[in-house]
Amino acid sequence: MRSEEQLREIFNLLLDRYGPRHWWPAETPFEVCVGAILTQNTNWGNVEKAIANLKRERLLSPEALRELPAERLAEVIRPAGFFNVKGARLKEFVGFLFARYGGSLERMLGGEWQELREELLGVRGIGRETADSILLYAGGKPTFVVDAYTRRLFSALGLVDPRADYEAVRALFMENLPPDVPLFNEYHALIVEHCKEHCRKTPRCGGCRLHLRCSAQSLTRI
């Protein structure tokens, strides 16, 4: 079976099991960008608390974050963990947004997305997963987001090498699926949901609809 057919079949199985995920949960594109930075090395529940703090203080805008002292920002986003580092990363992103695009997220997201991806990767604190999350979920650009869940699941399914780097895993989806934003959005969200349920560091394989395809001998770990 070709990779494209396998990816489609896996997607359909996951969609049938979990239904549409309606991800990313945010009210504005800028909130997506902030969430993508804050979610590094923490769970989404903690990010939600930090974003709620920013909303309550009316700080969830490029202008407000630019003017906010770094110490105060770190305090507000404390629930997200690594708050000093993440505060600095938010400042770096907002600084880039103003220096390059006059503070306009619409302008930033309105150009060629491949070029913007390279620009984002040049911003300190923004790696490939964060850049692709911003592009896909805030900008509606057809780039696939790869995370630890993606690598774990698709290496177990034998579609990528467990040692494959980010770009190699991303290429599996970019080269074998059409550049379809809703598909990329839903697929990534379904991978996250499935791995939270089953494909953990210590797998919970009972009820997994992908177990017959799994090359990790998961049935022995039910």
pLDDT tens digits, one per residue of 142-178? 999 999 999 999 999 999 998 999 999 999 999 999 9
Residue 220 has pLDDT above 60, yes or no: no
Query: What residue ranges do the domains of the chain occupy?
Result: 3-22+144-221, 29-138
Q: From residue 65, how far is each of 41, 95, 154, 185 by CA, in Å?
A: 21, 9, 38, 27
Q: What percent of the chain has pLDDT over 70?
A: 95
C-alpha triplet 120, 25, 52: angle, nearest 5°: 90
pLDDT for 122: 97
Question: Domain 3-22+144-221: which CATH class?
Answer: mainly alpha
Dist CA 101 CA 95 (whole Å): 10
- DSSP element (H, E) containing 166: helix 166-176
- Tens digits of residue pLDDT in 99-115: 999 999 999 999 999 99
pLDDT for 207: 80
Residue 213 has pLDDT above 50, yes or no: yes
- Tens digits of residue pLDDT in 120-148: 999 999 999 999 999 999 999 999 999 99
Question: Among 182, 186, 205, 185, which Cα is nearest to 195's?
Answer: 205
Q: Which CATH number fits domain 29-138: 3.90.1150.10, 1.10.340.30, 1.10.1040.10, 3.30.2040.10?
A: 1.10.340.30
Higher pLDDT, 131 or 199: 131
- Kindly tell me the sign of the dihedral angle through the C-alpha atoms of 67, 95, 62, 91: negative
Dist CA 157 CA 212 (whole Å): 9
On average, the pLDDT of the chain sits at 93
- Tens digits of residue pLDDT in 40-82: 999 999 999 999 999 999 999 999 999 999 999 999 999 999 9
The pTM assigned to this predicted structure is 0.92
Dist CA 130 CA 140 (whole Å): 14
- Kindly tell me the sign of the dihedral angle through the C-alpha atoms of 105, 106, 112, 113: positive
